[in-house]
Amino acid sequence: MACGLPYAIAAAVAYPDRPVFCIIGDGGLSMLLGELITVAAYKLNIKIIVIKDNTLGQIKWEQMVFLGNPEYACDLYPADFVTIARGAGL
């Protein structure tokens, strides 16, 4: 879970002349908000696309498949990621 942005950072460091696109869910990005500072600090060429449904999608899916869909503690606060990214310097 939440490996999209760290992988994108690694790709941007390894190939600085190439654009990198990170497609990440809002749950994954919520877990790694500090990585936005890393992207800004190193001026990495990463475009971050957030799939926002205000839920921890992987946990919700696992609950549906393995536990019969209880949907326990999967909802997220509807954060404004654009404002957070600007605050991190992006």
What are the pLDDT digits (tens) for 1-49? 688 999 999 999 999 999 999 999 888 898 899 999 999 999 999 999 9
- Distance (Å, rounded) from C-alpha 82 to C-alpha 80? 6
Nearest by Cα to 77 from 21, 23, 33:
33
Greater pLDDT, 74 or 19:
19
pTM of the model: 0.80
- Domains present along the chain, CATH in parentheses: 4-87 (3.40.50.970)
- Alpha helix stretches (DSSP H) within the chain: 4-14, 26-31, 35-41, 57-67, 81-87
- Distance (Å, rounded) from C-alpha 32 to C-alpha 36? 8
- Distance (Å, rounded) from C-alpha 30 to C-alpha 63? 20
